[in-house]
Copies of this chain bind each other. A is one copy, B any other.
């Protein structure tokens, strides 16, 4: 396993890889969800590149960039048994040198949901992902369904900009009680951690309603809100039942739909989602 920081070292190492390459872009502080992406990449590609970079441009000024958890040694120990060829861990100066001034933006699809709560977030995401794609030239790139809008936005960017690669969206990995794994779960107090299962419970209840035949999106959203409201430690930021492809909010569920939500447990903001249909 080759751990590199500069772009020129990465380029040289990439050139030496023959056959197909899978990319798993991460912000580090890896959990089982990341490891499942790496295992899937390893199963489907001849070589695997993992990137670890806490991307400053996708954090808003009032967000948790400075306290976002980092532990490179721990990450490398977790990756080490998985047969990864290259770990690229660039500095912010490598990614955004003095004079940096180029941005990639996806428009309509970044407006609702996370985009409306986190202005500029997706501009940072699409820019850094475009840079990572060009730097690593993967055949397949692996992302988690946990960040549902990010997955949709990256699929759109790849289609629109003709990136010669396949975007692989992998199922959300969950704790035993259903909580979606996230590096931000470490911020939770014991009480908040217990309460956090309410996201999964509300998504499950909405899915049950859907499976019983309900297609009125407002009733589905209502069910999620009702269950979230029953948890005193949870503050709902948004709840959505949207078209899976366009992320436009639905009145009636006809095709594939995305249920999603952002909820504060104390100061910690968690997101989760289910796909219907």
Nearest B-chain residue to A103, judged by Cβ: B105
- Report if A46 contacts B (CB, 8 A): no
**B100 contacts A130, C-beta separation under 8 Å:** no
**A130 contacts B164, C-beta separation under 8 Å:** no
**B107 contacts A162, C-beta separation under 8 Å:** no
Nearest B-chain residue to A15, judged by Cβ: B164
Contacts of A276 in B (CB 8 A): none
- Report if A109 contacts B (CB, 8 A): yes
Smallest beta-carbon distance A245→chain B, Å: 9
**Which of B100, B107, B131, B137 is close to A102, meaning CB atoms less than 8 Å apart?**
B107
Binds B, one of A35-43, A143-151, A153-161, A232-240: A153-161
Smallest beta-carbon distance A157→chain B, Å: 5
**Which of B99, B131, B162, B164 is close to A161, meaning CB atoms less than 8 Å apart?**
B131
**A161 contacts B130, C-beta separation under 8 Å:** yes
**B162 contacts A134, C-beta separation under 8 Å:** yes
In A126-180, the 8 Å CB interface with B consists of 126-127, 130-131, 134-135, 137, 156-157, 160-164
- Report if A7 contacts B (CB, 8 A): yes
- Report if A16 contacts B (CB, 8 A): no
**Which of B105, B134, B163, B164 is close to A105, meaning CB atoms less than 8 Å apart?**
B105
**Which of B99, B108, B163 is close to A134, meaning CB atoms less than 8 Å apart?**
B163
**A160 contacts B106, C-beta separation under 8 Å:** no
- Report if A104 contacts B (CB, 8 A): yes
Alpha-carbon distance A134/B11, docked complex (angstroms):
17
Alpha-carbon distance A246/B99, docked complex (angstroms):
9
Alpha-carbon distance A162/B105, docked complex (angstroms):
16
Smallest beta-carbon distance A269→chain B, Å: 26
**A131 contacts B7, C-beta separation under 8 Å:** no
Alpha-carbon distance A269/B161, docked complex (angstroms):
30
Alpha-carbon distance A11/B166, docked complex (angstroms):
14
- Report if A62 contacts B (CB, 8 A): no
Known contacts A102-B157, A104-B104; 15 further A-B pairs (Cβ under 8 A): A99-B156, A99-B246, A100-B160, A101-B107, A101-B160, A102-B104, A102-B161, A103-B104, A103-B107, A104-B130, A104-B161, A127-B161, A134-B161, A134-B162, A135-B164
Interface residues of A (CB under 8 A from B): 7, 11, 99-109, 126-127, 130-131, 134-135, 137, 156-157, 160-164, 246
The 8 closest A-B pairs by CB, nearest first: A102-B160, A134-B162, A101-B107, A135-B162, A131-B162, A102-B106, A101-B108, A134-B163
